[in-house]
Amino acid sequence: MISTPSRPALPVQIKLAVDERPAELEVTLVIPSDPPKLEEPTSTGEYLLSRKEGRNCLSVSLGKPDKINLETYRKAGGSIGKWLVNHPVKTVDLTTQWLYEKEKFDALNALLEGILLGAYQFHRYKQDHSTQSPITLFLRPKELSEGLEKVIERLIIMAQSVYLARDWAHEPANVINPISLAEWTQTLAVDNGLKCTILDETALAEIGAGGILAVGKGSQTPSRMIILEYQGDHSGSSPIVLAGKAITFDTGGYSLKDTTNIQGMKYDKCGGIAVIATLQAISQLKLPVNVVGIIGAAENMISSTAYRPDDILTTLSGKTVEVISTDAEGRLVLADVLTYAQKHYNPSAIVDLATLTGGVIVALGRVFGGIMGNSRELIQNLIQSGETTGERLWQLPLDEEYLQALKGDDADLKNSGGREGHAILGGIFLQQFVENDIPWAHIDIAGVASTPKDLPYIPKGPSGFGVRLLLEFLEKSKPV
């Protein structure tokens, strides 16, 4: 095993104030007047720096009062987090007292979440960057409460896991490949009390996992299947399986991507890494649920050994697939992952997370992830978790008529059915590898796994999408 790159402490440390002196900066939330006063911050996240009773005060707007929700607090928090890491400040007081009322803990949590996620930076490979000491953010309630301490504890664990997902997604393909990802995950498992099993190319060949092996054939670093197991419920309940696609780099293979679309393909591993980060979070929170994370890791390259269009593959399920496009590789990897999950774990539900199709970006842009599946209850629970966390999902259909486009000429299935309904075809392909009595949902995060520009609490680059959503979903799941 090799050690993972170390991540320093979160750039903002959150502490409950107990007899500390007033901090050098006061942060307060404001709701703009109607009509707004001169120089008053108005839109969500807009701020005004002023002097108040001998110290600096950062007043941050929540925007129009009739539009305020949890996402508003996250966006305001993101503005605060970005300001803090870009200014020479060491201590901060959060003085808005109504946030500390018990019925406002959700709003406080969302604000602090936005601060931590907005403060994220990735400078590992910048020689001229000097690491600054963490900023201490003091919470100043009039009375301390155990409930507030629990909010902070969960928040820190969640933020550290999102940071991990963003950090590993940032890593380029010359650092993270299927082998190094497996080794890093083994180290993470030891640190977090998780059981970790790695299936290498020999083990994958022995069980007949022809999909994931074919995708990685062209690379000098062969494929890996990474299995993480967490047992938080000891009643013998069936686990929820989280399946993740981790293509550490995707050239498209012989169906080669153009120069515009090939850059950024290091982010094609974001689904698998979100699963890894989620397992870290639930193990640290000690959730009373059994969860298995299975990550299919491969590198889709071109060489004399790479798989080709017209090749016919035999997947772990026994179903054969005619390759139409070598750039529709993620579904081949996930087909074997889904089959492995059902053969070995008798799952109570399966949720897969993947940057699967460009088609979902055409359909939904970069606001929603696409969700499809065979269980209305599971889909609705995931959608609701996304609404709570701000990682929003929109359901797409999986009507049987779409399957006609994937009927193979010389095999059971084709791995691509053209551009029409592209995201749906990716989902319905995966459905062919799920037994009907197992609740299953597929989340296509191709449009939301990374952002080409800064968002309120997501800096340009990988978002860590899915970690908070899955954590929220698992916290509310009941053992089966």
For 45, the 3-state DSSP assignment is: coil
| Contacts for 399 with CB less than 8 Å, ≥ 6 apart | none
User: pLDDT value at position 426?
Assistant: 98
Burial class (CB in 10 A: 0-12, 13-18, 19+), 33: exposed
Please report the beta strands in 88-212, taking only residues with DSSP state E, as ranges in sequence order: 91-94, 135-139, 195-199
Amino acid identity of 59? Answer: S
User: pLDDT value at position 2?
Assistant: 52
User: pLDDT value at position 326?
Assistant: 98
User: pLDDT value at position 36?
Assistant: 75
Among residues 270, 178, 268, 276, the alpha carbon closest in space to that of 223 is found at: 178
Q: Which domains does the chain have, with CATH numbers?
A: 12-141 (3.40.220.10), 162-475 (3.40.630.10)
Q: Are 295 and 280 in contact (CB under 8 A)?
A: no
Helix axes 105-118, 70-85, angle to 10 degrees: 40
CA distance 316 to 412: 13
User: pLDDT value at position 442?
Assistant: 98
Active site residue 257: yes
- Annotated catalytic residue, options 166, 217, 331, 392: 331
130 phi, psi to nearest 5 deg: -105, 130
User: pLDDT value at position 132?
Assistant: 77
CA distance 335 to 456: 36
Which tokens hold the place of 183? 């080794």
SS (H, E, C) 251-308: CCCCCCCCHHHHCCHHHHHHHHHHHHHHHHHHHHHCCCCEEEEEEEEEEECCCCCCCC
Strand partners, 370: 394, 444
Count of other CB atoms within 10 angstroms of residue 188:
21
- Annotated catalytic residue, options 64, 140, 154, 257: 257
Query: What is the pTM (predicted TM-score) of this model?
Result: 0.97
| Contacts for 387 with CB less than 8 Å, ≥ 6 apart | none
Active site residue 154: no
Q: What is the pLDDT along the chain (480 residues), one digit of tens a residue?
A: 455 777 768 999 999 987 778 999 999 999 988 787 777 899 999 999 999 888 999 999 999 999 999 999 999 999 999 999 999 999 999 999 999 988 899 999 999 999 999 999 999 999 877 677 899 999 999 887 778 999 999 999 999 999 999 999 999 999 999 999 999 999 999 999 999 999 999 999 999 999 999 999 999 999 999 999 999 998 889 999 999 999 999 999 999 999 999 999 999 999 999 999 999 999 999 999 999 999 999 999 999 999 999 999 999 999 999 999 999 999 999 999 999 999 999 999 999 999 999 999 999 999 999 999 999 999 999 999 999 999 999 999 999 999 999 999 999 999 999 999 999 999 999 999 999 899 999 999 999 999 999 999 999 999 999 999 999 999 998 665
CA distance 7 to 162: 12
Please report the beta strands in 127-239, taking only residues with DSSP state E, as ranges in sequence order: 135-139, 195-199, 224-231
